[in-house]
Amino acid sequence: MTDTWPVIAPAPGAPTCAPPSFEPERGWTVTRHADVRAALIHPAFQVPAVDAGPPGTLAWLRGTVSRFSPPRHHAQRRAIVVTALTPLDPADLRHDAARLTVAVLDRAGDRVDVMRELARPVPLRALADRLGFADPAAAGTAVVVVAAAYHPGVDPVLTARADRAVSTLLALAPEGPPEVRANLVGLLVQACDATAGLIGAAAHHLLPPAVRRTPVSAETADLLAEVLRLDPPVRATRRVTVDEVRLGGRDLPAGSPVLLRFDAANRDPQAFSEPATFQPGRPGAGLLTFGTGERGCPGDRHALALATGVLDVLRERCRRTPTPLHHEPHPTLRVPTNLEVSVR
């Protein structure tokens, strides 16, 4: 019997691959795989600057973490994150996430909301524990508040709540210089929505009854790789040009805002054969969801391990209830609001 796999259509509003395009009010949009990859590694494309703030606030956190750092600070701050992640064995994180998922399902009764009970709290608790936060559960709760306001331009009410949550996280973080503690908090924040979005998308696309045909031999990690490609939790990332640069046959002036679309690039037929087809174990590399170059995600293996631990248990014990799927409103993230499964 031939296995059939889910058909994962592009998300609403996802562009198709084309040369870089310009809109006066939005700036440049980059969709082709080669162009997105080139922009991620070219020094003319930099992360937009963020304003700093008083110590211990959300603005201070954004101004201190490697994610938003300018080139002169980025390497040093990224090294903090890499140093923190190096002792963490992804196999241990996978085991921790699976164990915590089993505990949630054991006390859940016959139904559970994957997003509320598993997709955010389980990976955050497992990672916070391994990073040495004093109260991993409380840290995970605070991280969700910070993540909701992490990107600039959000509601001031959310910012005020996030300021308090940052203070909580710093109190729970291991002892160390402020810059180190900030980047440990930033590591949790970066993992929050992206990992939750991956788990939610994978549960939606892969669990019965939406999918009744996943063979036992298919590894969860291989399935997640295709979900990451076809329905990425991080749809895009922003850059700004600091010099005039030519990309994909277009001349971009200095100071141009640029949106790099992972969701389009991951379906580029020039980079992937049969790009719309779900193919677990697809040969070759090229997935751009985690970025690439000096700003590529340093915790990609750890994030995948956490998601795999949750999905391993869900595949064994749960079926998805046939309810419509909705996503949180966000310009660059794709995270389900809720996803109910039945527990067996």
Are 265 and 288 in contact by the 8 Å Cβ rule? The answer is yes
Per-residue confidence (pLDDT) for residue 66, from 0 to 100 = 96
Per-residue confidence (pLDDT) for residue 5, from 0 to 100 = 84
Which amino acid is located at 205 in the chain?
H
Q: What does pLDDT average to in each consecutive run of 10 residues of the chain (344 residues)? A: 77 94 96 98 96 94 95 96 97 98 95 96 98 98 96 83 97 97 97 97 85 62 94 96 98 98 96 93 83 93 97 94 90 95 92
DSSP character at residue 327: B
CA distance 208 to 338: 17
What DSSP assignment string belongs to 99-141?
A: HHHHHHHHTSTTEEEHIIIIITHHHHHHHHHHHT-S-HHHHHH
Per-residue confidence (pLDDT) for residue 3, from 0 to 100 = 59
Within 10 A of 1 (CB to CB), how many other CB atoms are there? 5
The SS3 of residue 282 is coil
Are 114 and 199 in contact by the 8 Å Cβ rule? The answer is yes
Can you tell me which residue has the tokens 């994909």?
A: 248
Buried b (16+ CB within 10 A) or exposed e, 8-32: beeeeebbebeebeeeeeebbbbbb
What DSSP assignment string belongs to 174-239?
A: PSS-HHHHHHHHHHHHHHHHHHHHHHHHHHHHHSTTT-S---TTS-HHHHHHHHHHHS-SB-EEEE
Per-residue confidence (pLDDT) for residue 344, from 0 to 100 = 84
What is the pTM assigned to this prediction?
0.95
Q: Are strands 257-261 and 27-30 parallel, antiparallel or unpaired?
A: parallel
CATH fold label, 27-276+290-343: Cytochrome p450 (1.10.630)
Per-residue confidence (pLDDT) for residue 145, from 0 to 100 = 97
Per-residue confidence (pLDDT) for residue 2, from 0 to 100 = 52
The SS3 of residue 333 is strand
Per-residue confidence (pLDDT) for residue 217, from 0 to 100 = 62
Provide the residue ranges of all domains of the chain, joining segments of one domain with +. Answer: 27-276+290-343
Per-residue confidence (pLDDT) for residue 284, from 0 to 100 = 67
